[in-house]
Structure 1
Amino acid sequence: MSTPALASSAYQTAARLMQQAAGQEPPKVNAPDFGAMVQTAVEGVVDKGRDMDAKAIGLMEGRMDVVDVVTAIAETETALETMVTVRDKVIAAYEEIMRMQI
């Protein structure tokens, strides 16, 4: 999520909470669906993995260049590392929320 979108989402959440505290009905917000965002990201990583597999097979068959295969491997590795980092951040945020006193 980009910084402006994150800031907008935070602002809308704060406004909704203020209205709830004042006893007003919060306006409908078209917030992005977190599950859909995760699904899209995972599908992107899987697609990169499939592309890398196809290029590696093409290299073994003599149809692909080594540079293309190495580039595909690097892109897949970067996408997977990014996904793992996001997962770690989500888990850390969840653990922090669970430690909060109510």
Structure 2
Amino acid sequence: MKISVALLWITGLAEAFLAIPLIGGGFVISTGYTALGVMFVLHAITLFFCFREYSPKSGSILGIITSTIAWIPGIGWIFHLITAAVLLITAAISGNRARI
């Protein structure tokens, strides 16, 4: 498995956790919004490996955007949800393509 595919799965699952109503928001607030900074860095690292391994980049780019605007309560939840879906679908498609 490529490193980029593994990172897509990790960031996708982390975004899915942050998209859980009340729990994800409570986690972000309890960390003093540091969780959004950590996710920004993880998405940037994933994007680097996606460029390096010619994997789809849309999920990581969307994740970087999400990390910068997710402090807005309702919009943050929607963006986390969309980003998680894009990342997980991209990881599944990229993982299957790597096996062929």
- TM-score tier by shorter-chain length is 0.3 to 0.5
Larger radius of gyration: 1
TM-score norm. by structure 2 comes to 0.39
Q: Compare relative contact order (CA 8 Å, sep 6+) and give the higher one, 1 or 2.
A: 2
